[in-house]
Every structure is written in structure tokens, then in C-alpha cells.
Structure 1
Amino acid sequence: MATLRVQPEAQAKVSAAGSRAGPLGRRGPERLEASATRPPSPLLESGSLIRGHVDVFREDLCSKTENLLGSYFPKKISELDAFLKEPALNEANLSNLKAPLDIPVPDPVKEKEKEERKKQQEASREELGGGPQQAPLPLQKEDKNEKKKGDDEDKGPPCGPVNCNEKIVVLLQRLKPEIKDVIEQLNLVTTWLQLQIPRIEDGNNFGVAVQEKVFELMTALHTKLEGFHTQISKYFSERGDAVAKAAKQPHVVGEAQVRVHGGKDTFEVRPDPSLPQGDYRQLVHELDEAEYRDIRLMVMEIRNAYAVLYDIILKNFEKLKKPRGETKGMIY
């Protein structure tokens, strides 16, 4: 029977390696001492304190959410529904929303006289041989005074600042706090829902899927409500541009004025409110009417947002709060 002989050199190497490894195998005493002297992680030291703060915040958030569902959401639904029934949001004749535009309109008679004077000056230059391309002849002192007087008359009376539509502004002053409020409450409920999401695990994720669906709905509502602020700012920007165009080109008056005979071979121009106004002036009124309709729709959207949130959270409250149910020990 053959016997295995161990060389003395190999046996010495094995014993030396065993003495270095120590009783813990591959980890020697030097590595054990280094791991023992390593400072603990700051996350582990302050973990209990941080978790305590988060737990307090979560409990406070849960209390606020339950208060919203219990009393606040139903109260806001009732208030906004009453707001929609007020006469201020139920104007049948939108022409009553028109705001006065005190922008002077140039007199067409003076405009015609001005054009005739210009033609006469060009004709006089051609008769003198200067041609239409030559520089205009210098005016005498009397002609300059007459021209300055005519230009001052053409300017018309100053209209001063053009005010906003007071009816629209009053409605927007009531609407903007409602937009701010619903966005804040939606943000609070969304944060509460995100804190209810459990740790990622395999299986039993039906409640988590319900949470994801509700979260998608909240995100869509938040995007829609955030667009209301942009919509209001856009209205004022577009209305300001329309007023500026109406003031810059006041001669664009469409059929807002009629010619009335004032005597033999004379006539005068008078405004007729029964006829449509000029394009730019009518554009201002159209923007006011469109914003009035948008205000009513925004109030409806805010009311519907409260109603949808209240309904879907109340129906799925248990799944949202405890998506995996109660953890119970299994009996074999």
C-alpha cells in the first residue's frame, strides 16, 4: 500500500499560512483589528433620528389627507358649484361684457384734406420743373404754422390709459386663489400617496398597481391646473397687443361709424353702436368674451378635480394606504 509523503518545505508553508490566517480562516488578526477600529456609518448613527422625523411628517400628512377627504373636498365642491350658478358666470348676452375703448378716431374729412394738400404740393413741384423726385420746396412761415395746426388737429384728443375689462378682472381675482389652493392640495395628496408606496418585492403588487394608476391621474390633473396660470397671462398679453394695435391704427374702424348728412352738400361722421366696430377694436371685445368662457370652464375644471380626487381616493383608500394588506404569519 503506497503512502503519501509530505515534503518538509511544503509542510512548513502550510503551517505558516495557517498561523497567518488565524482561527477565522482567511481574515488575519490585522484585518480583524482594522475592521473593529473602523468608525460606524453616519447614516446608521443618525438613522433612528431621521426615521423619527420622517415618521412624524408622514403621520401629519396622513392626518391632513384624511381631513381633506372628510370635510375640505366636499366643502370646496359645494362652494364651486354655487359659484358656477351665480349670475356673474351666467351672462347670456356676451355683448354686455364690452369694455369702453376711449381711443380717438381720425376724422376722414381731415384725412381727405391732408391728402389733397399733399397732392397739390407734388403738382406744384412738377410745374416748377423739379419733378416728383426732387426735395420739397421750403415752406413759408405762414404755411408752417398752418401745417403745425393741422397736425395738432389730426392727433385728436388724448385718450389716456386704456383700462382693463373690470368684469373679467373681478372674476379672475376670485379664480386665481382657487387655482392656487387646488394645486397645493393636490400636491399634498400626491406626496401622501407616494409615501404609501411599499418596498419593491416580487408578487402581491396589485395594490401597488392601483397606486400607480391613481398617481397618473393626479399628474394629469396637476398638468392641466398648472396651465391655467399661463392661460390667464396669455389673455392679458394678447389683449394688450390688440389695444396697442387699435391705438396705433385708429383709422381701422370697419363699419362702426356712419355718414350723416348735415346740410346742403355737407355730412358728418357719427358712431353707431349697433354696427360692428373695427377689426382691432372688435378683437379686444372678442378676447374678453373668450376669456369669460374660459373662466367658467376653469371653475368647472377645478370643481371636477376636487370631485374626481375625492371619489377615486375614497373608493380605493384601503388599497392606497395598505397596498399589500395586513402581513400575517403563514400556517403550514
Structure 2
Amino acid sequence: MGGRCLAQVCHLCREEQRFVQNTFRIYRFSDSSTATGDTMTSMDICIKSKKQVDDFCKQLTKEAESLVSKFFPQKIEEMEKLLQASFCVEDLSTLRAPLDIPIPDPAKEELKRKKKEEKEAKEGKEDKEKDGKEDEEEGPTCGPIACNERVQRLLKETKVHIQTLKEKLNTVSMWVQLQVPNIEDGNNFGVAVQEKVFELLTNTRTKIEGFQTQISKYYSERGDAVAKASKQSHVGDYRHLVHELDENQYCELRIVVLEIRNTYAVLYDIISKNHDKIQRPRGDCKALIY
């Protein structure tokens, strides 16, 4: 009985010794891997490269804070002046540009139609088809038709403000992204604020890009309407369509300027109210040390 107990004790001692040896081997392998840089958690960063990135981040932060504190309020005032100076038209009919498209004389058109019918009756069906093709290829009777200069001038001015806003949004968005801290458990309320601000900036940029698409669409639609009005000059609806497009574009441009002004105001308000959370999303770590 005593010999059996002694054997069991020796067996347990050998198992414990084997466990300690295996544990030491695992620890030694882990330690050597860390020393040789085999782990995936570390990354060699050149000091010069880090300094370049840090300098860029500092410059970007300085520029973004200057935009919010100074540039945005200036643009709000500038948009207000633009609305009062160029977008204060009450009677939209004053925006209409003259269309240099001659209106056909009904009597002359009727005489022309009768002559054409007599010619077709004499020359036969083949000549009739040939003349039909020639009429289709014939250009408009009017000369070059100019754009609506007043609307075009407002378009050019508004496009500059759209592009400026897009560039400033890009700067502020990059600044917010660079303030995102390391991913950790807990204390992420400030990070959530950063994400909301970045989401607002992204949605605003998408909306601004839609304004530029709208400008291109106006030129395309107006060009089609002018072409139809010149080709079918006896149809008065095409003339009215051109004027309606000009008036509608003026109203849309006014909305665009209002949106640009409101965007600057909203961004200034949101960022200024949450500046501490954006700049230091987890607060001052030193305050947590007792």
C-alpha cells in the first residue's frame, strides 16, 4: 500500500515538472518572437517619416480650426450679401432672355405648303421621299442663339462658392478623422461625437456635389428646348419652355446659395459646441490618475 502511494506521488511530480518545462518553452518562444520583431502588433516607423506626418497633422489642425473660427463666419456674411444683391428678384419674368427665333407668317407658311404639295404631285413618290430627307437635314432659319447672360453670370459665381465649400469640407473632414484615437474598450462617447460630425460632413459633401450635377443638367435641358424652338418655331410652347427653364434655374440657384450659407452656419455651430470632444475625444488622461 505504501509503495503504491509513493509511485503515485512520483508520477504527479513528473507531470508537474513536465508542465513547468513546457510553460517555460512557450514563454521563451514568445519573448524571443517579440525581441526579433516577429509579432504583428509592432511596426517599424522611421523617425523622419513620423515627424513629417506629425507636421502635416499640426498644419492641418491649424488650418481647420482657422476655417471654423474665422472663415466660416466670413462666408456666412458673404452669402447674405450675395442673396441681397443678386438673388432678390421678385418678378421672374424680368429674367427672360430674348429668343432671336423668327415667328413664321401663317400666310407665307400656307403658300409654301401648297407649293410643296404641287411639286410632290408632279415629281412623284421618289422625289417626295428625297425632298423629305432634305427638309429633315435643313438647319434652322434663325442665327446663333445666345445663352441667358444673367442666369449664366449667376451660375459662374455660384460654381465658385460650391467648389470652395467642397474644398473646405475636405479639409475639416480630414482634420476630424485625424483626431480619432486608438480603439479601446469604454470611454468612447467622444469618438461617437467625432463619427456624427464626420457623417454630417460626408452627407453635406454629397449634397453639394448634387448642386454641380444640377447645373450641367440645366445647360442640357435648355439646349434641347432652344433647338426644338428654333426647329419648330410655330410651336409657342417650346419658347415658353426656354423661359421656364431660366426662371426655374434662378430659383434653384437661390436655394443653392441658401444651402451653402446654412451649411457654413451648421458646421460652425456643431464643431464649436463639440470642439473639446473632437480634439480630445477621451478627455485628459492625466485626470484619471490619482
What's the TM-score, normalizing by structure 2? 0.80
- CA gap 1:190/1:120 in 2 versus in 1, 3 angstroms: closer
Aligned to 2:261: 303
- CA gap 1:106/1:225 in 2 versus in 1, 3 angstroms: same
Aligned to 1:330: 289
| 1:173 positional shift | 1.6
| 1:56 positional shift | 1.2
Counterpart check, 1:287 vs 2:276 = no
Counterpart check, 1:61 vs 2:19 = no
Aligned length: 274
- CA gap 1:286/1:36 in 2 versus in 1, 3 angstroms: closer
The residue type equivalent to 2:191 in the other structure is V
Aligned to 1:320: 278
In 1, the alpha carbon distance for the partners of 2:202 and 2:168 equals 13
In 1, the alpha carbon distance for the partners of 2:146 and 2:274 equals 50
- CA gap 1:35/1:322 in 2 versus in 1, 3 angstroms: closer
Aligned to 1:244: 227
Residues 21-40 of structure 1: CA deviation (Å, up to 9, x unaligned) = x999548x9x99x9799788
For the pair shown, the structure with the greater C-alpha radius of gyration is 1
Residues 43-192 of structure 1 aligned to structure 2 (within 5 Å)? 44-86=43-85, 88-118=86-116, 120=118, 135=124, 158-192=141-175
Q: CA RMSD in A?
A: 3.7
- State whether residues 96 and 148 of structure 2, in contact with CA within 8 Å, keep that contact through their aligned partners in structure 1: yes
In 2, the alpha carbon distance for the partners of 1:45 and 1:156 equals 70
SS of equivalent residue, structure 2 residue 250: helix
| 1:115 positional shift | 3.1
| 1:61 positional shift | 1.0
Residues 281-316 of structure 1: CA deviation (Å, up to 9, x unaligned) = 110000000001111111111111111111110011
- State whether residues 104 and 157 of structure 1, in contact with CA within 8 Å, keep that contact through their aligned partners in structure 2: no
Aligned to 2:11: none
In 2, the alpha carbon distance for the partners of 1:324 and 1:37 equals 32
The residue type equivalent to 2:181 in the other structure is P
Aligned equivalent of 1:203, options 186, 196, 202: 186
- CA gap 1:330/1:93 in 2 versus in 1, 3 angstroms: same
SS of equivalent residue, structure 1 residue 283: helix
- CA gap 1:302/1:196 in 2 versus in 1, 3 angstroms: same
| 1:205 positional shift | 1.3
Larger proportion of helix: 2
In 2, the alpha carbon distance for the partners of 1:51 and 1:157 equals 66
The residue type equivalent to 1:175 in the other structure is T
SS of equivalent residue, structure 1 residue 85: helix
In 2, the alpha carbon distance for the partners of 1:121 and 1:55 equals 84
- State whether residues 242 and 280 of structure 1, in contact with CA within 8 Å, keep that contact through their aligned partners in structure 2: yes
| 1:251 positional shift | 1.7
Counterpart check, 1:224 vs 2:207 = yes
- State whether residues 141 and 230 of structure 2, in contact with CA within 8 Å, keep that contact through their aligned partners in structure 1: no
What's the TM-score, normalizing by structure 1? 0.70
SS of equivalent residue, structure 1 residue 229: helix
In 2, the alpha carbon distance for the partners of 1:137 and 1:242 equals 33
| 1:54 positional shift | 1.9
Identity of aligned residues (%): 49
Query: Which sections of structure 2, spanning at least 5 residues, go unmatched?
Result: 8-13
| 1:81 positional shift | 0.7
Aligned to 2:10: none
| 1:248 positional shift | 1.3
Query: Which sections of structure 1, spanning at least 5 residues, go unmatched?
Result: 7-13, 126-133, 139-146, 253-277
- State whether residues 180 and 191 of structure 2, in contact with CA within 8 Å, keep that contact through their aligned partners in structure 1: yes
